[in-house]
Amino acid sequence: MAKKKGDEKVNQNPQSDSEEHNFGEEPDFDDPEGFVDDIPDEELLADLLEQKPKESDGYENVIVVDGCPQVGPERLEKLQSVINKIFSKFGKIVNEYYPTSENGVTTEWEPPAPQPFKVQSDLQWYLMDPDAYDQFLVGIGSGVALQVWQNALPEPVLLQERPNWTETYAVWSPLGTYLATFHWRGVALWAGPKFSQFQKFFHPEARFISFSPCENYIVTFSPTGDRGEDKKLIIWDIRTGQEKRSFPPPDEYVTWPIFRWSKDDRFFARLGTDVLSVYETPGFGLLDKKSIKIPGIRDFSWSPTDNVLAYWVAEDKDVPARVTLLELPNRTETRSKNLFSVADCKIHWQKSGDYLCVKVDRYSKVKKDKNDIKYSGMYYNFEIFHMKEKEIPVDSVEIKEPIQAFAWEPVGSKFSIIHGDPANVCISFYQVNTGQAPTLLKKFERKPFNHLFWCPSGQFIVLANLGLTGGALEFLDTNDFTIMNVSDHYQMSGIEWDPTGRYVVTGVSSLKCKMDCGYYIWSFQGKILRRVMKEGFAQFHWRPRPPTLLSNKQQKDIKKNLKKYYSQFESKDRMRSSKASKELVAKRTEQMKKFVKYREAKTEEWNEQKPRRLELRNYVDTDSLDADQANTVEEVVEFFVKEEQTIIE
């Protein structure tokens, strides 16, 4: 059974006093008539008046530069940039003024003209496709050339292709609105039907970026720091392109992303030494103007659906390790669990936010050297937090063998684990139930896999063996654990599901392997649909989709009544197949016409050359020497046009 939180809450209500007390007549505190207060406001309200804005007539923050060269309007901009470069080293320049008349005073002032409104293209155009075709990005070469395809039927359609579109790689934003590319001078965002440049961020040699979940902000990191040490890490507003705040780099090595965002872009946090710094937007200051002191904190992760973060603290001598759930902005600890003999922890949130798993690496013995700690007798626990249940009960699953992979079902209540020694790798599937400990649904033994890839909509999973010596694939339906297909893609380096869960792509990147580079597109059942071999193939990414606007009830109703739409789908498929067949016939007919025309032209040319051939061959007609009219071979070439099925009752 699930263990409930042990701490009891005691409510103490003060006793009410029903007796009425008579304190006599209330005294009069009003000032007497004609009273004049002789205490000035400066004495009574000194602290408030101190905050009153004042007009400053001092010159402590003003720099007057004398002896500047006198230039015409055509060279004024260059002079301004030189002066700015010199004096910006001493502090931030708030405003500046350059006299343009002989006495240093302008004769008239013209208000700045309003900038014309720039109409932006539809940023959500890709969601309006009537057939709901998804798009994907392909990167080729070290240039890097990028291609954007629409996964249409019967063949994908190339929407955009540009050589040298990025210098390293490209990234989709979390909701699929923008495509980010890297350049020497910074990062650029592209959007709209023609992938026009939407925004650019000047951050020389930026190498890493991360988006906030709602696409309001982007974080860029440049290890070179050409703009200064405190400008290596910058947060920008995507819509305006404005720099919101910059940070110095972390003092020690950390994994990217350095900043981790809450699900609604309201907060972002970073890990420090014994502190967790939580910032809030849009002010970009520390929450409550101070960091949260947590001695021994090692890692943290935000819930994908709530403003709750989970963090774990390492053990210290006799003080056990601890996993804590912290609710923000009120900083309330909603759940905490102590853990003993802990070497390491990994935090895994389920995508729906219903469950949290903390993988705990535990030891039986520990040996401490001067600068090293060695653990032995390792075993592993999976602490399952039921986030939607009262008091957040916690269950535990223990596995003795080494763990290779763990993955939650994105939509559902199952999780899978790859465990065991290399000679006997096992894959176990568990079901999480309300009020009960997780139950083992299925265990596969002796499987050659090291990675798990769940379908975004749940139920289906791909078991894969990634690496230069791998390539094995298995497509599994976890409703009844039917193996739908077993296949392989030799030396594949990555796998990615499309947002709808209908297709899955396996790829061999030229960054990992120089031979047989390219990608395969499979159906969710494991049927190969398309093989694309490309020299220099570097990356493949499906374009993300924003969350559906339908409620859970509406989605359930659609699934319940899905059979009503079958006839519409079949009609569309027939029309698409007929259209494809007509296009194929038209293409073959056009090719046949071109061939006949070419043959007639060459036959006419051959006939015109006959007198010359006779002259060269002593007037002996050799054209018909080897001709055999009775030995003609006719070859028939067939191709599929269409298929019709008629049901006979």
pLDDT in tens, 64-83: 888 788 777 777 888 888 88
pLDDT tens digits along 514-530: 888 999 999 999 999 99
Q: Centre a 10 Å sphere on the Cβ of residue 452 and count the other Cβ atoms it contains.
A: 22
Does residue 625 have a pLDDT over 60?
Answer: yes
pLDDT tens digits along 576-602: 766 666 777 788 888 999 999 999 999
Does residue 339 have a pLDDT over 80?
Answer: yes
Q: Mean pLDDT over residues 335-350, rounded?
A: 95
268 contact partners, CB below 8 Å, separation of at least 6: 212, 235, 259, 260, 261, 262, 278, 279, 281
Does residue 636 have a pLDDT over 60?
Answer: yes
Q: What is the DSSP string of 466-535?
A: -STT--EEEEEETTTTEEEEEEE-TT--EEEE-TTSSEEEEEE-TTT-SSS-EEEEEETTS-EEEEEE-T
Predicted local confidence at residue 324, as pLDDT = 97
- Please answer whether residues 386 and 353 qualify as being in contact, where contact means their C-beta atoms are separated by less than 8 angstroms: no
Does residue 531 have a pLDDT over 90?
Answer: yes
Predicted local confidence at residue 47, as pLDDT = 72
CA atoms within 13 A on the CB side of 192: 12
- Please answer whether residues 236 and 187 qualify as being in contact, where contact means their C-beta atoms are separated by less than 8 angstroms: no
pLDDT tens digits along 474-516: 999 999 999 999 999 999 999 999 999 999 999 999 888 888 8
- Please answer whether residues 544 and 179 qualify as being in contact, where contact means their C-beta atoms are separated by less than 8 angstroms: no
Does residue 210 have a pLDDT over 80?
Answer: yes
Predicted local confidence at residue 30, as pLDDT = 64
Q: What is the DSSP string of 443-474?
A: EE-S----EEEE-TTSSEEEEE--STT--EEE
Q: Mean pLDDT over residues 123-142, rounded?
A: 91
CA atoms within 13 A on the CB side of 394: 19
Beta bridge partners of 508: 518
DSSP summary character for residue 357: E
Does residue 572 have a pLDDT over 80?
Answer: no
How many helices, marked H, and strands, marked E, lie in the chain? Answer: 6, 39
Q: Centre a 10 Å sphere on the Cβ of residue 77 and count the other Cβ atoms it contains.
A: 9
pLDDT tens digits along 171-187: 999 999 999 999 999 99
| Omega within 30 of 0 (cis) for the link into 304 | no
Per-residue confidence at 385, pLDDT binned at 50, 70, 90? very high
Predicted local confidence at residue 17, as pLDDT = 43
Element (H, E) at 615: helix 610-616
Whole-angstrom distance, CA of residue 251 vs CA of residue 437: 42
The residue among 559 and 39 whose pLDDT is bigger is 559
Distances (CA, A) of 252 to 164, 203, 221, 282: 34, 22, 15, 28
430 contact partners, CB below 8 Å, separation of at least 6: 397, 414, 415, 416, 417, 438, 439, 440, 441
SS3 state at 616:
helix
Whole-angstrom distance, CA of residue 382 vs CA of residue 395: 8
Predicted local confidence at residue 150, as pLDDT = 95
Does residue 216 have a pLDDT over 90?
Answer: yes
Retrieve residue 293's tokens.
């002191």
User: Residue 187 corresponds to which amino acid?
Assistant: V
Count of all residues that appear for the chain in the document: 649
- Please answer whether residues 418 and 450 qualify as being in contact, where contact means their C-beta atoms are separated by less than 8 angstroms: yes
Beta bridge partners of 398: 381
Whole-angstrom distance, CA of residue 115 vs CA of residue 363: 66
Per-residue confidence at 101, pLDDT binned at 50, 70, 90? low
Q: Centre a 10 Å sphere on the Cβ of residue 458 and count the other Cβ atoms it contains.
A: 19
In this structure, what are the phi and psi dihedrals at residue 202, rounded to the nearest 5 degrees? -80, 105
Whole-angstrom distance, CA of residue 159 vs CA of residue 97: 49
pLDDT tens digits along 275-308: 999 999 999 999 999 999 999 999 999 999 999 9
Per-residue confidence at 53, pLDDT binned at 50, 70, 90? low
Query: What does pLDDT average to over the chain?
Result: 86
Q: Mean pLDDT over residues 77-91, rounded?
A: 84
Does residue 41 have a pLDDT over 50?
Answer: yes
Retrieve residue 224's tokens.
């070179």
Q: Centre a 10 Å sphere on the Cβ of residue 646 and count the other Cβ atoms it contains.
A: 4
Whole-angstrom distance, CA of residue 189 vs CA of residue 200: 6
Counting residues of the chain whose pLDDT is more than 90, the rounded percentage is 56
Radius of gyration of the chain (CA): 36
Whole-angstrom distance, CA of residue 223 vs CA of residue 229: 9
Does residue 354 have a pLDDT over 60?
Answer: yes
Give 326: exposed, middle or buried? Use CB within 10 Å, 0-12, 13-18, 19+.
buried
Question: Does the global pTM surpass 0.75?
Answer: no
The residue among 35 and 1 whose pLDDT is bigger is 35
The residue among 71 and 611 whose pLDDT is bigger is 611
DSSP summary character for residue 441: E
Does residue 16 have a pLDDT over 60?
Answer: no
Predicted local confidence at residue 333, as pLDDT = 94
- Please answer whether residues 126 and 136 qualify as being in contact, where contact means their C-beta atoms are separated by less than 8 angstroms: no
Retrieve residue 386's tokens.
């039921």
Does residue 105 have a pLDDT over 70?
Answer: no
Does residue 139 have a pLDDT over 90?
Answer: yes
Distances (CA, A) of 406 to 163, 417, 443, 448, 514: 39, 5, 14, 16, 30
User: Residue 45 corresponds to which amino acid?
Assistant: L
- Please answer whether residues 429 and 441 qualify as being in contact, where contact means their C-beta atoms are separated by less than 8 angstroms: yes
Predicted local confidence at residue 382, as pLDDT = 97
Can you say whether the dihedral through the CA atoms of 551, 553, 555, 557 is positive or negative?
negative
Predicted local confidence at residue 191, as pLDDT = 95
**Cα dihedral 242→246→249→250 (10° resolution):** -120
